Amino acid sequence: MGEETIARLVLFVVSVGSGVLVLWMAQAAASGRLRRNPVAGIRLPVTMASDSAWLTAHQAAKRPTQWAGWCAIAFAFPCVVPLSLPFALTSIFIGAVGLLVFVLYGAAVGSRAARALADGD
């Protein structure tokens, strides 16, 4: 196997793996299986204030966070089809930017939901 093929496979595995991990985290946090912790999830003061704020935030952020995961997965596929390397690298870059944008949007949505919960108490 050539160096380019290995690089393409590594990019594919990392991007798909990241997407799957984000999808799992979105589901686990929104369902309550992923509890407040110092490592994964929307870890802002407003979401870490209580278990109900944590759950509310992640339920609100579930859809955009899932879009983040699917974005990373979808844009990884040009790495494993016979397309030019610049096209594959551009696709990976777009997928990474999409992942970041949707995760940040989900965090903003979740933060607003947790803040609204706190304001209603």
Q: What is the pLDDT of residues 6-54, one digit of tens each?
A: 999 999 999 999 999 999 999 999 999 999 988 999 999 999 999 999 9
d(CA 15, CA 95): 8
Six-digit token string for 101: 């944008």
Digit-coded pLDDT (tens) for 50-99: 999 999 999 999 999 999 999 999 999 999 998 899 999 999 999 999 99
Local confidence band at 121 (pLDDT 50, 70, 90 cut-offs): low
Query: How far does Cα 35 stand from its chain's mean position?
Result: 17
